Amino acid sequence: MSSLSNLGEKDASFVWHPFTQAAVEGSPIVIKKAEGVFLYDENDRQYIDANSSWWVNIHGHGNAFIADAIYEQCKTLDHIIFAGFTHPKAIELSERLLKWMPTQMQKVFFSDDGSTAVEVALKMAFQFWDNQQNSRKRILALEGAYHGDTFGAMSVGQRGYFNKPFEHFFFDVDFLEFPTTDNQHILLEQAEKLFQTHEFSAIILEPLVQGSAGMRMYGVDFLEQITNLAKKYQVLVILDEIMTGWGRTGEMFAFNHGAIHSDIICLSKGLTGGVLPLGLTVATQEIFDAFLSEDKSKALLHGHSFTGNALACAAACANLTLFENPEVFENIARIQRQHMQFKASLTYKRVKEVRMMGTILAIELTDSQEDYFSSLRDEAYHFFLENGILLRPLGNVIFINPPYVIDNENLTYIYENIRNFISNLK
Ligand SMILES: Cc1ncc(COP(=O)(O)O)c(C=O)c1O
């Protein structure tokens, strides 16, 4: 057994971490326990998980109800092949989830995480047309988009630092500028021209908030108009609710904010309360029906070894049960009120823009390099860690999206530290 004291060194010897430049970044912090909003390192230092551990954890760490559901499931049925076989928890999850989805959503496809949920959505959209001998092959996305790190998901994402070495392998995608109140009229005109070609299979959108682009937010009116325009031209609408789902934007899903049309919805992250990996791609009956044929090759020939994992399904069912308790949305509303008050106090010179939606609060700072590799990022990251807060900025954007169980005292502590950090910037 490793002793805790040399775990950091062992990690450096054996482990390759994501989104990490090992040549310059120090050893990772070894976390031995997580409870509620706190992470505890090997020296018992506590950190408030202000970004919900990559935006997944919504009910706090070590939630006993989810843990019990997983344990009970594990004793009964752990994992089985999901082709030709099914199991009660996958069925329960699908039936219960569809009640939260727009009425046209009728079928749930299982995968492993956000990227695979998007990958499946893209394949569904392309094959939907291909199965009907229709040559719609183009796809529309928004500049700044992030939909994951697999090749399809990268193709429909913003090209840049994240994916440069792979760019020549990507399929062609048309991108619309990021919508603002000034340009949305033009963007809708551009989209309509594109849709009129009848070459577009789908449009993919992070509804209302672009996460990785720096928690950039756009209006519900644009989302309503572009999705309904797509519907008019039979262009499939893929909503990537991987980050925005599960109460993050103040409603259960971002599509609940308005009359937003969708044909395919991607879910992950908070789906299991952020405890186990699971991705879902939810589709309409019409899409499902386009795969039905005597010809077996018209099926969606896609799957993963762990598709429909019963433990993840049990966690997701437990998550749905937790959402039946009004306390979850009371907490979300309370966090919003706290954010709102704090937002009003952010009148510093270096604050370029403050954005807020639901439990997400993002503060964009001015810097000589205003992108993902802004030096402010490292400065802020280490400042917050030293003060017992795990807050991972996106370049020059500091943001918090905590688990909903965070109390006002810990929120205030985060706010105070953000104020200290910004007010000490030159
Ligand atoms: C909007 C969105 N889509 C897709 C993904 C990819 O999810 P995963 O990291 O689980 O593959 C993310 C991850 O941050 C995301 O924010």
Residue 55 Cα: closest atom of ligand 1: 14
Ligand 1 near 152 CB (within 6 A):
no
What would the pLDDT profile of 300-329 be if each residue is shown by its tens digit? 999 999 999 999 999 999 999 999 999 999
Where do the domains of the chain lie, and which CATH numbers do they carry? 4-62+326-423 (3.90.1150.10), 64-323 (3.40.640.10)
Which residues, other chains included, contact 276 with Cβ-Cβ below 8 Å and sequence gap of 6+? 70, 309, 311, 312, 315
In this prediction, residue 5 carries a pLDDT of 55
Length of the chain: 426
DSSP assignment of 244-275: TTTTTTSSSSGGGGTT---SEEEE-GGGGTTS
In this prediction, residue 175 carries a pLDDT of 98
DSSP assignment of 263-331: SEEEE-GGGGTTSS--EEEEEEHHHHHTT--SSGGGS-----TTTT-HHHHHHHHHHHHHHTSTHHHHH
The residue whose CA is least distant from atom 3 of ligand 1 is: 147
What would the pLDDT profile of 56-66 be if each residue is shown by its tens digit? 999 999 999 99
Q: Kindly give the distance from the C-alpha atom of residue 54 to the centroid of ligand 1, in angstroms, as a whole number.
A: 9
Six-digit token string for 297: 């090759």
Q: Kindly give the distance from the C-alpha atom of residue 295 to the centroid of ligand 1, in angstroms, as a whole number.
A: 34
Q: Considering the chain, what is the average pLDDT of its residues?
A: 96
Determine if the pTM surpasses 0.95: yes
Pocket perturbation via mutation, ligand 1, pick of 55, 113, 115, 216 by most ligand atoms within 8 A of CB: 115
Q: Kindly give the distance from the C-alpha atom of residue 242 to the centroid of ligand 1, in angstroms, as a whole number.
A: 6
Q: Is the pLDDT of residue 3 over 70?
A: no
Pocket perturbation via mutation, ligand 1, pick of 269, 281, 304, 306 by most ligand atoms within 8 A of CB: 269
The distance in angstroms from the start CA to the end CA of the chain is: 48
Angle between helices 64-76 and 310-323 (to 10 degrees): 150
Q: What DSSP element (H or E) covers 217?
A: strand 216-217
Q: Is the pLDDT of residue 369 over 80?
A: yes
pLDDT band for position 2 (50/70/90)?
A: very low
Six-digit token string for 397: 């954007």
Cα angle: 324, vertex 330, 334; to 5 degrees: 155
What's the rounded mean pLDDT across residues 249-272? Answer: 98
pLDDT band for position 164 (50/70/90)?
A: very high
How far apart, in Å, are the Cα atoms of 357 and each of 142, 214, 335, 377, 405? Answer: 19, 13, 11, 22, 17
Q: Is the pLDDT of residue 17 over 90?
A: yes
